[in-house]
Each structure stands twice: as structure tokens, then as C-alpha cells.
Amino acid sequence: MEKEELIKKVKETKILPLTNDYVFKRIFSKDECNSELKDLLEGILGIKIEKVEVKNPEIPKNILDEKLARLDIKAKINDEITLDIEMQTSDEHNLGNRSLAYLSKLISPQLKVGEIYQELRKTIVIWILNFNYFKTNTYHNIAHMRFDKVEKEKYIDKGYKEENGLVTENAEIHFIELPKFIEKEPGVESKLSQWLWLLVGKGEKIKMAEKVNEEIKRAKTELEVMSMDPKEREMYEEREIARWIYYTGLDDAEGRGEKRGIEKGRKAGKNEEKREIAKRLLKMGFEIEKICEITKLSEEEIKKLK
């Protein structure tokens, strides 16, 4: 998407999209919205949830900087399951390794020195992806640690009628690919499909989901209220622009030939894109102080662009 198209799109957006990670976290991490998060997680995990406790409801202060802070939601389910859920809008081509890293970060703090491994709680990572990533024929993939297929020369008949294919049930990763869901175009019979239609913003399907799920209606109302709040709209717009600057600069740098020039190219590409964004924001009437915050350019640099 070109810079002009992006700025026009975010300005003209009436209802803020839940596929924006800032909007997603604001709606599902509020204390008063835990019933909606609980219902969403029940749809994804297929289990009955009595209690959800969000562990990081705060919004990081650096969501507009060039490192692009994570806006995930860490939670505990039924006082026993540790969970992390995140809306991912751009493909960084590293989901496999990132998932392992996230799992390890959630698992390692659970045990203190001297405690036994049997006390480890189940840990789940959930990715909601606004792009297709896996070469699979389902929009909801669930991954565990499993044994590989038995090699014939290593087979021993121990009399097991059914072998346990899991190494452990306490590590689980969910990948939900929204474009595949849209292509499938299911109804609203399941709780998962009800929530996914709200996430992708399909009006007709949302109306159908509201009739059978009060939590969908509640979340939609919260989203409409949020969309009318000037401060929330400003945060959404700035997050979208910050994301665009980050990923455009990253893509430009990665396409520049020799490995030794990548870091230099990334910095040059980012600076040029920041200046272009600053020019557009100046034309749109943004205050210089606000442009400094969004682009991380100095006030002097921005004044020169005028």
C-alpha cells in the first residue's frame, strides 16, 4: 500500500478494525471486558472457562517507536492455564521460531529452584493472523509436541492398541489464519466463527452472530464507543502509521543485496520513509510535536521539510 492510500484509509475508517493490534488489545484486555475475552477463548480452545485473569492490561508506552512494541495479551485461565494471545497483522516470516520463544518465556518462570517438573501448568500461545502463513487446508491449526512416524526397523510390538502421539499436553500453539476463514465462509453456528466474523468486520455475519451470542453484541458496542473517542482514533492512526514505517523500512532493507549492507540500508530506508511520512502529515495539518512523536524525527528536521 502506498503512503497516500494508507493515510487516507486510516482517516476514513469509521469503525476501528479489530485486526489492528492496538484496537484488539484495548477491547479484550479491559477488566470490564473479560467476559468477552473468556467467550473468545472458549471458541478458540473448545473448553469451558470459568475465569480469565489478564496479566498485562496496560498499553506499553513505546508502541509508536521504531522497535514496534508487542501488544499481546497474557492471561491465566481457571487459575491453571497460562496463555498468550496476539493479533498479528504483518508476516515477518518467523512464526515458528517466535512461537517457541513465546512458549519458553511463559513456561520458564513457572518453576522455581527445587520444584518438580510435574508442577508445570499447561501453556498456550494463540496467533490470530491477518494473512495466510501455512501450507495447510484449515484456517485453525493446532500444534503440539508429537512423535515422528515410527521407522519400520525400529518398531517393537509392545501390545499398545493405540500409541500416545503426544510428548506432552502442556505445550500448545494455535494459528488462526483469517483470509482462509473468509474463503471458507462458514455460518455462525460455532462460537469461534461468531468471533472471527466480528474480527474481520463482515457486517451481515456480525448481525447473525449478535442474535445468538450476547458477548458479540457487547464487544461490538464497545468497539463502536471506542471508534467515537478522538483519543482512541488518534492512537489507532498513529499505530498504523508506525507499523507502516517499520515494515516498509524492513522490507526495503531486506531487498538490498549484500548481507553486510543490510543494516545500513535499513537505516537509510527508514529515514527516507520517515521524511516522506512527515511531509504528508504536515500537509494534513498535524502539529510538529505530534509528527516528531510518530516519526522520531527531530523538530529541526521536520521544519526543514516545510
Q: Which residues of 183-216 are buried (b: 16+ CB within 10 A; e: fewer)?
A: eeeeebeebbbbbbbbbbebeebbebbbeebebb
What residue spans define the domains of the chain? 17-227, 230-305
| Residues constituting the chain | 306
Write down the pLDDT at residue 262: 37
Residue 20 has pLDDT above 60, yes or no: yes
Write down the pLDDT at residue 210: 95
Q: How far is CA 94 from CA 90, 161, 228, 260, in A?
A: 11, 38, 36, 21
Write down the pLDDT at residue 98: 93
Please state the pTM of the whole predicted model.
0.78
Residue 263 or residue 145, greater confidence: 145
Q: How many CB atoms lie within 10 A of CB 247?
A: 15
Residue 118 or residue 190, greater confidence: 190
Task: Tell me the pLDDT band of 90, cut-offs 50, 70 and 90.
Answer: confident
Task: Tell me the pLDDT band of 260, cut-offs 50, 70 and 90.
Answer: very low
Write down the pLDDT at residue 14: 81
Q: What is the pLDDT of residues 230-249, one digit of tens each?
A: 899 888 888 888 887 777 76
Contacting residues for 233 by C-beta, under 8 A, at least 6 apart: 16, 227
Residue 264 has pLDDT above 70, yes or no: no
